[in-house]
Amino acid sequence: MSETHPPPGKPGISRRQFLTGTGLGAAATTLLQTSEARTQASKVQAPKTVGFGPNAVACELVVNGARISVQIEPRVTLLDCLRHYMDITGPKRVCDRGTCGACTVLLDGRPIYACTMLALEAQGKKIETPESLYQDGQLHRVPAAFAQYDAQQCGFCTPGFVMAMKGCFDRNPNATPDEVEQCLAGNICRCGTYQQMRDALRSLCKKGG
């Protein structure tokens, strides 16, 4: 638990304020995920919940395994938090309306649109961005296949497609080309590099993800 929530004493949604505000102080160290806290919560009649904002509040996120804490207003989306506050610019801001897929990140392993989620809503979840695909001088096999098959042109959509495809293979290493294409149905490439992406994903399917 402790790794997924801000440490006590910080402004914003700290553990201390969180517990006090929800009348769950007695539940102490366990916060909301334990059955004890759940039972407590259901017994409390309309407990007073503390609000956060509209001024900037502390927000700690777990991005690519690292805990990063920033001060943001509640309205800041996960995408803007990553790009503007954490300097993690792999996810791209293209439509900003949950339509194009360029901002795709994995949240607890599932592809989501970072532009259409508040950063505060991603607290306590594991966030993976394209930056996680290059480690120890080694490029992950999905972006490597994109490079090999020249599956990009302007490149703005590419990080989103790569994350959606990685999420697909993570869930099902034996996905067929059709299944992988279904997983890419929430992403758009305006340059039209679909054929090269097909070549890339077929090469990955042959290798069993």
Partner 1 sequence: MKNFTYYRPLSLEAAVALLDNRWGTTELLAGGTDLLDLQKEYIAQPDKVVSLTFIQDPVFTRIEVPQILPGTKPTVSIGAAVKIADIAEHAELKNLFPALTDAAAQVGGPQIRNMGTLGGNLCQRNRCWYFRDEHVLCLLKGGRRCFASDGENRYHAIFTKGHPCVIVHPSTLAPALIALGASVEVVGPSGKRTIELNKFFQAPTKPDQREHVLAPNEIVVRVLIPVEGLRNASYEVRHKQSYDWPLAQAAVAFRLSGGKATNVRIVLGHVAPIPHVATEAQKVVEGQTITRELAEQAGEAATVGAAPLSQNAYKVHLVKVAVKRALLLASGAQPDWAI
Q: Which residues bind partner 1 (CB under 8 A)?
A: 13, 18, 22, 24, 32-33, 37-38, 41-42, 44-54, 57, 73-75, 77, 96-99, 101, 104, 107, 110-113, 115-118, 120-121, 164, 182-183, 185-188
CA distances from 182 to 99, 147, 161, 169, 177 (A): 16, 21, 12, 12, 9
DSSP string, 81-98: IIIIIS---SS--SSSSS
Residue 33: Cβ within 10 Å count = 11
Cβ distance to partner 1 smaller for residue 95 or 139: 95
Q: How far is the CB of 66 from partner 1 (least distance, A)?
A: 22
Cβ distance to partner 1 smaller for residue 137 or 188: 188
Cβ distance to partner 1 smaller for residue 121 or 150: 121
CA–CA separation, 20 and 181 (whole Å): 47
Cβ distance to partner 1 smaller for residue 97 or 206: 97
Q: How far is the CB of 65 from partner 1 (least distance, A)?
A: 21
CA–CA separation, 114 and 106 (whole Å): 9
